[in-house]
Amino acid sequence: TELLQAPATTRDGAWRGAAEVLIGNWTGTSTVPSRSLYPHQWSWDSAFLAIGWRHLSPRRAQRELESLLGAQWGDGRVPHIVFNPSVPLGAYFPSPDFWRSSAAGAGRGAPATVETSGIVQPPVHALAALLVHEADPEISRRRGFLTRLYPRLARWHDYLARRRDLGRGGLAAVVHPWEPGMDNSPCWDGPLARIEPAEPGTFRRADLDHGAATDRPTDLDYGRYVRLAAEYRDAGYDDAAAPHGFAVEDPNFNALFIASEYALAEIAAEVGAAPAGHLARAERLTRALLDRLWDAEAGVFRCRDLHAGGDGLIPETSVAGLVPLIVPGLPGPVVDALLRTLTGPHFALGDRTGLAPSYDLRGHAFDPSRYWRGPAWFNINWLIERGLRLQGVPERADALRSAFLRSAAGSGYAEYVDPLTGEPRGARRFGWTAALTLDLLG
């Protein structure tokens, strides 16, 4: 019964549609992003899914995060995919026989009984855990939810801080384009150009069985993704030993790290641990984000290529550079500049669909249908909505919330939409689109 307590309002249609998607994508211990395209458990998807589930079933929301954190490696990393053993190997590429986590990752403490990938995704989990707890503190306390999760979340953040500060400037670096979650962002074109693609005949893309080739990354991108992942695997997923031909500091990844570190401080206080270390780390990360990635002239945070010469700042304007709006305590001029960029000609928030595109509308690589090279994504728009509230512009947040709800329900809970026309793209009945709809409906 807990599952179907719909609010008795005219918003029922959207609420029911979104609830049906979550229920349909639930496997018993977690939720697939899509039954067709992504039939396993993904890391940052799970965090967003839990944020939605808390409105339907706080228990399932907790299970979602517990099952993900249950596949954590001994070194603290939370893998970007946890594979469902009952799904055929050919349903998704790269499959467990590519990653070989239990064997190749044994030295890093990969689980022996569940197969996972060996890379990570943005750390949204502590933020999600706190929001799930707040939805029903009583069930959460009774189940010892935060008490059990806190040490795992703390080790996850320690992994990022200790093993992934490859630039030695205080931020966490990503070592594969799948890690920031924006696979084919134009930001990676420069760093990826140095990577020799894997031979085309050596792997088979399963994504093209379900998705239109023009909406997905290219074969050349995939060749490079495969090469980088294989090299990391062949180094035993050891961050100190791997060649890391791709190493980038991403503002979206690090902004989420900061927001989650603040959440971890609150979680620590709830479970009787010390919050001070988490607060101090969140402040240090914020200073590093400003020092290393802020481009005052452009009014946006940039990605930094750790293998490039000069300052390494990548001259592409991605929505990743606006997500730091979710970071508390940014200097006023930085917030003002971010708001100007968001509403100006490059992102035009409020125009057309009302959603923020994933990449500069005027950028040379802008493509309204190809994945992270232009389309509007719902998780990112949810983060920006949250950022607008945090930064004290509730009218803008309200408008974005309405645009989100209209597009999400109107697109059949699409994975992403054309930011100019609102046309649905990618998978339908997509997990986080539905989950975050529930969250915005409240």
d(CA 236, CA 229): 11
167 C-beta neighbours (distance < 10 Å), count: 18
Q: Which is nearer to ligand 9WN, 67 or 391 (CB)?
A: 67
Q: Is 45 in the site for ligand 9WN (CB under 6 A)?
A: yes
C-alpha to C-alpha distance for 390 and 387, rounded to whole angstroms: 5
12 is catalytic: no
Q: Is 291 a catalytic residue?
A: no
Please report, to the nearest 10 degrees, the dihedral formed by the alpha carbons of residues 226, 71, 40, 416 taken in order.
Answer: -80
- Exactly one of 118, 170, 181, 387 binds ligand 9WN (CB under 6 A); that residue is 181
Q: Which of residues 189-208 bind ligand 9WN (CB under 6 A)?
A: 207
123 binds ligand 9WN (CB under 6 A): no
- Shortest gap between Cβ of 152 and ligand 9WN (angstroms)? 20
For residue 379, which of 44, 40, 23 has the smallest C-alpha distance?
Answer: 44
Least distance in angstroms from the C-beta of 344 to ligand 9WN: 26
Residues 282-288: contacts with CB under 8 Å, at least 24 apart? 282/258, 283/329, 284/170, 285/170, 285/171, 285/254, 285/257, 285/258, 285/261, 286/258, 286/327, 286/329, 286/330, 287/170, 288/169, 288/170, 288/171, 288/254
Supply the minimum distance, in Å, between the C-beta of residue 80 and ligand 9WN. Answer: 6
How many residues contact ligand 9WN, by CB under 6 A?
A: 10
Cβ nearer to ligand 9WN, comparing 180 with 299: 180
Cβ proximity to ligand 9WN: between 81 and 361 the closer is: 81
> Which segment (23-31, 176-184, 256-264, 334-342) binds ligand 9WN by CB under 6 A?
176-184
Of 183, 207, 266, 360, which is the active-site residue?
Answer: 183
**Least distance from C-beta 435 to ligand 9WN, angstroms?**
12
DSSP assignment of 266-314 equals HHHHHHTS--HHHHHHHHHHHHHHHHHHEETTTTEE--EETTSSTT-B-
Mask: binding to ligand 9WN, 56-95, rule CB under 6 A, as x and -?
Answer: ------------------------x---------------
CA angle centred on 36, ends 212 and 40, rounded to 5°: 125
Neighbours of 133 (CB within 10 A): 24
Quote the least distance from Cβ 354 to ligand 9WN, whole Å: 22
- Assign 197 to helix, strand or coil: coil
Stretch near ligand 9WN under the rule CB under 6 A, chosen from 14-22, 39-47, 96-104, 311-319? 39-47
**Site for ligand 9WN contains 223 (CB under 6 A):** no
Please, which residue, 52 or 312, has the CB nearer to ligand 9WN?
Answer: 52
Residue closest to 372 by CA, chosen among 225, 178, 200, 172: 178
The total of other beta-carbon atoms located within 10 Å of residue 299's CB is 21
Which residue lies nearer to ligand 9WN by CB, 379 or 391? 379
Contacts to ligand 9WN by CB under 6 A: 33, 38, 42, 44-45, 80, 178, 181, 183, 207
Which amino acids are annotated catalytic? 183, 415
